[in-house]
Structure 1
């Protein structure tokens, strides 16, 4: 039994070494047009596939009526998203600000003052490159994130090393240190005092200790935690919103900066956030990275928010 565990450990870490380090680094060193074409071919052929892709499809399927015939194409696009995210981890370290500026098509503009702001985005698309854009716009920002578990990125200890590389990439691009959730309010307020902004995402399953709001999404309703919005409101901090994605044909990056209603309250901001996520999912449902967790966010008609949050625990 001990030998079997050792073999399993070596397999998991060997897979992580190939899929998180060796292959993405090689592709990141190639001209991007060539690298992206190879990523598209890998996605179509199921290379780098894992149980996460099938779990994502099974979670998405009930909310995407009539798309069963397109299941393989959907999985290919979801797989492409995962592959691009891995390569981006290295591209943000290897490529210059000038190179990135040529790769991004931007809609909207950043504010002309420093802030601080709460910058809302979602797990739709992929935007590890956003920190350099914020730095160039003169917006120093922290990322508010949950602590990564090895199974979130891979299967073994090397996956945690990969998570450290991603954190380093944020700082390398001009971002501030990551703020981890769980008693984070004091650190968020401290960041505001230094005129630093905070980037956060609300499209995650809530825990029983988090306040949640219920909003319509696709064919159902979801509950989302909104503690970050309450902290922003209490501190009088302006809330902005943006989304990041890429063109599945060319690999060009897309940044959309969304103008929020003036003096919008927490309820209105939460509604605008989920409405934007809904538009994103209707335009490309396969780009939602957290589909596997979606069953913990969608709630049954007539159920209350507290019961939905308790179901996560």
Structure 2
């Protein structure tokens, strides 16, 4: 077999894998009532360990470098189930009305009156939190990294799925997506229009500029500080929020923190790091960034 044929076979396998994991199986969520679909998701992740297998094994290996995992088999099952639910949420959000929230989401806390900065994490399944904001009459601009075709070399399905998800985030939020890089002007405009801004803060230092130190897994780590400094300058509160999953029922569990105000960015960062650490204690396999965990402990000032 020549090199081009080997390449073609490898690419076909990757596209097939992406089709199964990002489209075919997750879309079961819209074909059945959620309780039934969730039971199918549980069955698949129990009896098909190859599903998200390589991804899960990589995440497990990285997690074991920084935390103790008593039951790796259970850890992997939980990780893969959450991945499947999170992928399926794209199709659920596109095809279900706001009434879905009333039946399948438990909410702790309340959103403050906008404008505010909502900080969340690559943990759990957060897309429905944006829909919940919308049901409360809050328009929220979502801050995102910019993706393009080069971000997914030779992976057409993964690229298409990501584009569709960004489009759904915009629809679910009832506002625009603000892309990083020259975003300050747009963020200011959003808050002056009385909107909220939502963003993910657990981003590796290589993707951002200014960072502040935090405690992560009992080590000094670094998170981007631009968001909290923006909130302090604009005098808007910061709210941490997250969406967990009940692994027995599939019910979403949205938690909204009390608003945090002040003028000390380090205090904001420590609060957010503490909130995140509580999430990791609650359900470590729900974090989607285990592959990058070592990157958070290294930062070169720019």
Normalised by the size of structure 1, how large is the TM-score?
0.88
Cα separation, partners in 2 of 1:173 and 1:199, compared to 1, 3 Å: same
In the other structure, the counterpart of 1:62 is 65
Map 1:249-268; keep pairs closer than 5 Å.
249-263=248-262, 265-268=264-267
1:142 CA drift (Å): 1.3
In the other structure, the counterpart of 1:9 is 11
Which stretch of structure 1 is more off in the superposition, 55-64 or 140-149?
140-149
**Contact 1:217 1:274 survives alignment (8 Å):** yes
Give the distance between the partners of 2:244 and 2:152, measured in 1 at CA: 19
Cα separation, partners in 2 of 1:208 and 1:52, compared to 1, 3 Å: closer
Count residues in correspondence. Answer: 299
> Is the counterpart of residue 52 in structure 1 residue 49 in structure 2?
no
Map 1:84-163; keep pairs closer than 5 Å.
84-111=85-112, 113=113, 115-148=114-147, 156-163=155-162
1:208 CA drift (Å): 7.6
> Is the counterpart of residue 193 in structure 1 residue 192 in structure 2?
yes
Give the distance between the partners of 1:209 and 1:85, measured in 2 at CA: 25
**Contact 1:150 1:159 survives alignment (8 Å):** no
1:44 CA drift (Å): 2.2
In the other structure, the counterpart of 1:278 is 277
In the other structure, the counterpart of 2:84 is 83
RMSD: 2.3
Give the distance between the partners of 1:3 and 1:276, measured in 2 at CA: 49
Which stretch of structure 1 is more off in the superposition, 24-33 or 125-134?
24-33
Which stretch of structure 1 is more off in the superposition, 117-126 or 13-22?
13-22
Give the distance between the partners of 1:219 and 1:174, measured in 2 at CA: 35
Cα separation, partners in 2 of 1:154 and 1:2, compared to 1, 3 Å: closer
Question: Where do 5+ consecutive residues of structure 1 fail to align?
Answer: 300-307
In the other structure, the counterpart of 1:172 is 171
Give the distance between the partners of 2:101 and 2:72, measured in 1 at CA: 33
Give the distance between the partners of 2:9 and 2:148, measured in 1 at CA: 21
Normalised by the size of structure 2, how large is the TM-score?
0.91
Map 1:184-223; keep pairs closer than 5 Å.
184-207=183-206, 210-223=209-222
Deviations 1:260-292 (A, max 9, x none): 344353221111100001111111111111111
Deviations 1:76-108 (A, max 9, x none): 111111100111110001111112221111111
Deviations 1:177-209 (A, max 9, x none): 211222322221222222222111111111386
Cα separation, partners in 2 of 1:23 and 1:82, compared to 1, 3 Å: same
Give the distance between the partners of 1:140 and 1:158, measured in 2 at CA: 30
Q: Secondary structure at the match of 2:127?
A: coil
Give the distance between the partners of 1:229 and 1:137, measured in 2 at CA: 24
In the other structure, the counterpart of 1:304 is none
